Amino acid sequence: MDLYGVLDLTPAATSADIERAYLRLARRYHPGINPGDRLGAERFRQVQQAYEVLGDPGRRDQYDAGRHRRPAASIEASVEFDGFDFSAMAQGAEAATFSELFADVFQDAARRAVAADQGTSLELTMQISFEEAMRGGAVPVSVVRRDRCPACGGAGVVALESLECEACGGRGAVRWVRGHMVFTKACEPCGGSGRLTWAACGACASSGVQTRSEVVTVHVPAGIESQARLVVPGRGHAGERGAPAGDLYVTIDVADHKVFRRDGRDLLLTVPVGIHEAALGGRIEVPTLAGPITARVPPGTATGTRLRIRGHGVPDPHDRESSGDLILEIQLVLPPVRDERSKALLREFAQLNPVDVRAHLFEH
């Protein structure tokens, strides 16, 4: 993958050009702006990968140097026949079959044909508070992941001063014998050039990745539900030898609130109300996500009555201008009767307002 091409730049781009291109493309393809767009998410991951390399001067230098070297995969598995050597044993246990004769050719070609796989994805569960789920925002989470090796930039090799290849003595080819037949083939360590300019990275054992702990920012949309699954492109395990990283999948676990309960996009709140407030009506103060407000209780409100307050429920994750409702569930609270005067008033009230509250139990 051409990292400069991903950012719509040329190798002559300055650091400021790279920064501007990254910000422009990241805003355009961010999954939060394009929910459900898999192509956009893949493009966003490529933009992130390109910026991680080109935005770091050291890694950019390594990448630029690597663009001009001949990759190992381009070494052809060609073999030249150089005649016979009858000084070697061609019989017995050491005699080579024709399948053995070409085994190295096919094995080498197969090894070179295998491309580095994309890194695997990561899965984790992140618990957030009820308030964080309602307002949304950036939430940091710590992950342990395989990232590109800082010593080699993910290439698996590091640059060396040009040295003569010991494997072939600077000839660029090695002698290869099977039975009495003698062949030569390109030297794999130096790619047939006879000179070594790169060596396996000792920091990562040439894999191009190292395990490390990292804090990743997860962008949580306002109003997210528990068990919702978010994806952070490119924050899974890095692929070996510079292959793209996998994704990070985050399952959201929303903690319960001490007074609010959620029902879809509505919030439920049980509100204790005194007998006098329920009978005579009035205004009471109730909490909401945005702060306390005043709600009206109609006269004659019974316990279990539901009062709906529009627009004070759960925000819509897909429409910031839209929210559910707050539903107040009225619960009558009997006051303690501690003196004779209060008891007398209650008896007088019952005499003035005779109601058989259990009559419906006997209706058939």
Q: What is the pLDDT along the chain (364 residues), one digit of tens a residue?
A: 578 888 888 888 898 888 888 888 877 877 766 666 777 777 777 888 888 888 888 888 877 776 544 444 334 445 454 544 445 444 444 344 444 445 454 454 444 444 456 788 899 999 999 999 999 999 999 988 888 888 877 777 777 777 788 888 888 887 766 655 667 777 877 777 777 777 778 888 777 788 888 899 999 999 999 999 999 998 888 887 667 888 999 999 999 999 999 999 999 999 999 988 999 999 999 999 989 999 999 999 999 999 999 999 999 887 777 899 999 999 999 888 889 998 898 889 888 888 877 777 777 6
Q: What angle do CA 141, 50, 11 make, to 5 degrees?
A: 155
Which residues are 196's β-sheet partners?
A: 163
**Amino acid identity, residue 12?**
A
Q: What is the DSSP string of 32-51?
A: TTSTT-HHHHHHHHHHHHHH
Task: Record the pTM.
Answer: 0.56
- Structural class in CATH, domain 1-68: mainly alpha
* H or E stretch covering 286: strand 282-286
Given 3.30.70.330, 3.40.50.720, 1.10.10.10, 2.60.260.20, which CATH number is that of 121-154+205-256?
Answer: 2.60.260.20
CB 134 within 8 A of CB 314: yes
CB 275 within 8 A of CB 150: no
CB 266 within 8 A of CB 324: yes
CATH superfamily of 260-362: Urease metallochaperone UreE, N-terminal domain (2.60.260.20)
Residue closest to 29 by CA, chosen among 53, 7, 54: 7
CB 141 within 8 A of CB 249: no
71 alpha-carbon distance from chain centroid: 31
The domain ranges of the chain are 1-68, 70-114+157-200, 121-154+205-256, 260-362
**What is the DSSP-derived secondary structure letter of residue 313?**
S
| Domains 121-154+205-256 and 260-362 equal at CATH topology level | yes
